[in-house]
Copies of this chain bind each other. A is one copy, B any other.
Amino acid sequence: MEKKMLILGLLLSHDMHGYQLNEVLQHNPGTPISLTKSNAYKLLNDMERDGWITHTQEQVGNRPQRRVYSVTEEGKVEFFRLLRENLSSQPSPEFPGVVGLDFLHLLPSDEAAALLESRLQLVEKNFQQLDELPLQIRQSHPSSEYLHKFYANEIEWLSGIIKRLQSQ
Contact = CB atoms under 8 A, between A and B. Distances in A.
| A interface: dominant SS | helix
A33 B96 CA distance: 6
Contacts of A21: none
Interface residues of A, number: 50
Given A87-B104, A89-B97, A101-B146, 7 more contacts: A32-B94, A32-B99, A34-B92, A80-B106, A87-B119, A95-B147, A149-B157
A143 B86 contact: no
Given A97-B90, A101-B142, A143-B98, A106 B83 contact: yes
B102 A141 contact: yes
Contacts of A103: 9, 83
Interface of A: 2, 5-6, 9, 12, 32-34, 80, 83-84, 86-104, 106-107, 112, 115-116, 118-119, 122-123, 126, 141-143, 146-147, 149-150, 153, 157, 161
Identical subunits present: 2
A33 B95 contact: yes
Given A34-B92, A88-B119, A92-B34, A99 B157 contact: no
A32 to B, nearest CB: 4
Contacts of A101: 87, 142-143, 146
